[in-house]
Amino acid sequence: MCSAKAGPARPQLSFLGGARSVTGSRFLVETDRSRVLVDCGLFQGLKDLRLRNWKPFPVPPSSIDAVLLTHAHIDHSGYLPALIRDGFVGKVYATEETRKLCSILLPDCGYLQERDASYANKVGFSKHQPAVPLYTEADAEAALKSFETAPFEHEVEITPDLRARWNPAGHILGSAMISLEIRDKVRPRKILFTGDLGRPHHPLLTPPSQFGEADILVTESTYGDRVHDAEENALHVLEETIKATVAKGGNVIIPAFAVDRTEVVLLLIKELVEKKIIPNLPVFVDSPMALKTLEVYREAIREGRPGIKAHLNGMTSPFDPGNLIEAKTVDDSKAIRNQAFPCIIISASGMATGGRILHHLAHYLPDHRNSVIMVGFQAAGTRGRALVEGATSVKLLGRYVKVRASIVEVDAFSVHADSKEILDWLGKAKKAPEMTYVVHGEKTAALELSRKIEEQLSWPAVVPHLMERVRLD
């Protein structure tokens, strides 16, 4: 329902997050009758960004009619439990798979915050006395009740003057770009939010849907200043790294984002094993969240859900390279160390900011025989970024650990389109948007993509500032 409030006379878009940064995606669309939020992400990474999570939400949560989610990643969904606890009573529209993934990711996020707060209280380093979590696991569980499924490729009436449509974005399971239509007799408007845009070739997911047309475009730019290595190179680097590590009698450690990276890495290892390019090694998946996520992916494949490549439909064990071992408990995780060499360990988190991967890195980094393969974007300020930038020691679990293992970065595993892929995708638009806002990228990446859009497509493009507001009419 549309709440009684005096909105702006003409529709407006406000960039409440994800502006000149890759986290905290939050875009507010307001008309004279409605107020909806597209994505409700958590700020992550550098401390300055994280502190933003603690500021009061820029508009009263109770005044927002609905939240529309592009996908489940925490930087797009992770603020929801706080928004709902603080008064938001509308519906959270998301695709079926986004809802399922959020039911794993959000409670985990709440749990981690509670754990960190209680640790801070024990050690006594928090500025808050006592330290409090931003929200709890219970807040996150409660937030899940507000979800409403938005089917792919169907119009959904959000408020009397707003309609939305979710089209596959090929980024992670359930991910969508959202086309939001403002039904205005005088000046109807269509705004396309890309969310995070996937790549043309994903081993599991269908490529991003065609752009179609929009009056206003809000595009991501995570890799706006980079072109990924060729995918064949990625497979080659994976293959060579595994072979070289096995030859030295070492282990391969892969910090992977629980959602999607784990699945893609398993599929590729399976391919290498089946082609007898690498030996059939034990492959451990050691992350409770990755294991739960694996189940959601398996279910989607079994059921042939939208966005899954047709040739996988109905497959029963798409992720087992031959010797897959699921480390479910902490004891299972600890037991991995007793394994005879060699093996592959896939564990979260992908940027090595938390989770069981910390224990594996602390154990395996000091030995030159081991290799660590970084397979995703490493945000500024994270341990993962320090490793790919050649840190000779990193702090793990309170101690500095020497880095002697080989660190290999394979960015072709990225789930984000690079600048060329974004431009190719944009280039197929039926008509040029009147304005393109470049968001969800660190400043240099966003500015570079904006420049390329102007130069190569001759479309007007700008990189908005945080909290900037623009008219949509």
Part in contact with Zn ion (CB under 5 A); list of ranges 70-78, 318-326, 352-360, 375-383: 70-78
Binders of Zn ion among 384-403, rule CB under 5 A? none
Q: ∠ at Cα 119 (118, 121), nearest 5°?
A: 65
How far is it, in rounded angstroms, from Cα 214 to Cα 217?
6
User: Least distance to Zn ion from the beta carbon of 99, Å?
Assistant: 16
Part in contact with Zn ion (CB under 5 A); list of ranges 58-66, 69-77, 148-156, 287-295: 69-77
Adjacent-strand bridge partners of 15? 27
Report the residue number, 76 or 190, with the smaller CB distance to Zn ion.
76
Report the residue number, 23 or 34, with the smaller CB distance to Zn ion.
23
User: Least distance to Zn ion from the beta carbon of 73, Å?
Assistant: 4
At which residue do the structure tokens 């341990």 appear? Answer: 383
Q: Which helix (H) or strand (E) holds 157?
A: strand 155-159
Decide if 193 contacts 255 (C-beta within 8 A). Answer: no
Q: Which helix (H) or strand (E) holds 83?
A: helix 80-85
Report the residue number, 11 or 198, with the smaller CB distance to Zn ion.
198
How far is it, in rounded angstroms, from Cα 359 to Cα 447?
38
The pairing of strands 371-374 and 406-409 is parallel
73 binds Zn ion, rule: CB under 5 A: yes
Q: Side-chain half-sphere of 401: how many Cα atoms within 13 Å? A: 23
Report which of 287, 283, 288, 256 is spatially closest to residue 272, judged by C-alpha positions. Answer: 283
Part in contact with Zn ion (CB under 5 A); list of ranges 144-152, 190-198, 243-251, 312-320: 190-198
Binders of Zn ion among 238-257, rule CB under 5 A? none
Decide if 290 contacts 346 (C-beta within 8 A). Answer: yes
Report the residue number, 25 or 159, with the smaller CB distance to Zn ion.
25
Report the residue number, 65 or 260, with the smaller CB distance to Zn ion.
260
Contact track, Zn ion, 24-63, x by CB under 5 A: ----------------------------------------
Report the residue number, 73 or 385, with the smaller CB distance to Zn ion.
73
Part in contact with Zn ion (CB under 5 A); list of ranges 72-80, 178-186, 345-353, 392-400: 72-80
User: Least distance to Zn ion from the beta carbon of 344, Å?
Assistant: 25
Neighbours of 240 (CB within 10 A): 12
Q: How many residues bind Zn ion (CB under 5 A)?
A: 2
Q: ∠ at Cα 126 (123, 131), nearest 5°?
A: 95
452 binds Zn ion, rule: CB under 5 A: no
Decide if 80 contacts 135 (C-beta within 8 A). Answer: no
User: Least distance to Zn ion from the beta carbon of 223, Å?
Assistant: 12
Report the residue number, 26 or 73, with the smaller CB distance to Zn ion.
73
Report the residue number, 73 or 261, with the smaller CB distance to Zn ion.
73
Q: Side-chain half-sphere of 405: how many Cα atoms within 13 Å? A: 29
User: Least distance to Zn ion from the beta carbon of 169, Å?
Assistant: 9
How far is it, in rounded angstroms, from Cα 325 to Cα 187?
57
Part in contact with Zn ion (CB under 5 A); list of ranges 66-74, 180-188, 315-323, 339-347: 66-74
196 binds Zn ion, rule: CB under 5 A: yes
User: Least distance to Zn ion from the beta carbon of 44, Å?
Assistant: 12
User: Least distance to Zn ion from the beta carbon of 71, Å?
Assistant: 6
Decide if 34 contacts 191 (C-beta within 8 A). Answer: no
**Widest CA span in the chain:** 71
Adjacent-strand bridge partners of 203? none
Report the residue number, 250 or 350, with the smaller CB distance to Zn ion.
350
User: Least distance to Zn ion from the beta carbon of 97, Å?
Assistant: 13
User: Least distance to Zn ion from the beta carbon of 175, Å?
Assistant: 7
> In terms of residues, how long is the chain?
473
Decide if 149 contacts 96 (C-beta within 8 A). Answer: yes
Part in contact with Zn ion (CB under 5 A); list of ranges 67-75, 150-158, 215-223, 316-324: 67-75
Part in contact with Zn ion (CB under 5 A); list of ranges 94-102, 105-113, 188-196, 359-367: 188-196
Identify the three-state secondary structure at position 138: helix
User: Least distance to Zn ion from the beta carbon of 281, Å?
Assistant: 30
Residues that bind Zn ion (CB under 5 A): 73, 196
